[in-house]
Amino acid sequence: MHPSTLVRQLDGEVKVGTVVAICRAYGAPILPAFVAAGFITSDEAERTSTEAALRDASDRQLAEEILRRVIEAEREHPELTEPLDDDQVDEAVEKSNIRRLNVGGRPDTLTDEEIAERYGDRIAADTSDPEQDLDHRTP
C-alpha cells in the first residue's frame, strides 16, 4: 500500500477497492469487511449471503436443509406431525371456502347455486372486517 493511501485510510477515507485488496491479501471474506467499513448494513450482507448460498447450494444440500428444518419443527410442534384425517381436511376446505367468499373470492369448483345453497346464511351472517385475523372469525 502506498503511504498516501495509508494516510487517507487513517483519516477515515476508506475506499471500496482498498477494503477488497486487504481482504484478498489476507484471504478474509469481503462482506463482513464492507459492513465494518460502513459500506453496507449487516442486513444487506446477510441477505446477499443467503441469496448466494441458495444459488450455490447443490440439490442435496437444499434437501438436507429442508429435512433439518422439518425435524426441528417436529420437536418444536409435535402436534403438527400427525397426518390429517379426511374430516379435518374437509373442515379446513370448508373454512377456506367461507373465508374466500367473505373477501370477494369464490371456490373454483362450485357454481353460484351451490355457493348460495351451501354457504348463503353463513356468508350473510358474517359482517366482520375481512382484513382482521381470519382464524378468529365466526363463520
Residue 74: inside a domain, yes or no? no
Kindly report whether the global pTM for this prediction surpasses the value 0.95: no
Q: How many domains does the chain have?
A: 2
Provide the pLDDT for residue 139.
46
In a domain, 2, yes or no: yes
pLDDT at 60 over 70: yes
Q: 77 or 3: which carries more pLDDT confidence? A: 77
Letter string b/e over residues 7-42, b meaning 16 or more CB atoms within 10 A of that residue's CB: eebeeeebeeebbeebbeeeeeeebebbbeeebeee
| Inside any domain, residue 49 | no
Question: Is residue 4 in some structural domain?
Answer: yes
How far apart are the C-alpha atoms of 31 and 44, rounded to whole Å?
A: 9
Are residues 33 and 22 in contact, defined by beta-carbon separation less than 8 angstroms? yes
pLDDT at 133 over 70: no
The closest alpha carbon to 97, from 108, 87, 89, 88, belongs to: 108
pLDDT tens-place string over residues 90-126: 888 887 777 766 666 666 666 777 777 776 666 544 4
pLDDT at 125: 47
For the record, the C-alpha cell of 120 comes out as 348463503
Residue 20 sits in which domain range?
1-40
Q: How far is CA 65 from the centre of its chain?
A: 15
Q: Where are the alpha helices (DSSP H) in 38-85?
A: 42-56, 59-76
Q: Is residue 72 part of a domain?
A: no
Q: Per residue in 2-55, pLDDT tens?
A: 666 666 666 667 888 888 999 999 999 998 999 988 888 988 888 877 888 888
Residue 137: its pLDDT value, please?
46
Pairwise CA distance, residues 54 & 86, whole Å: 36
Type of residue numbered 37: A
Q: Does 93 fall in a domain?
A: yes
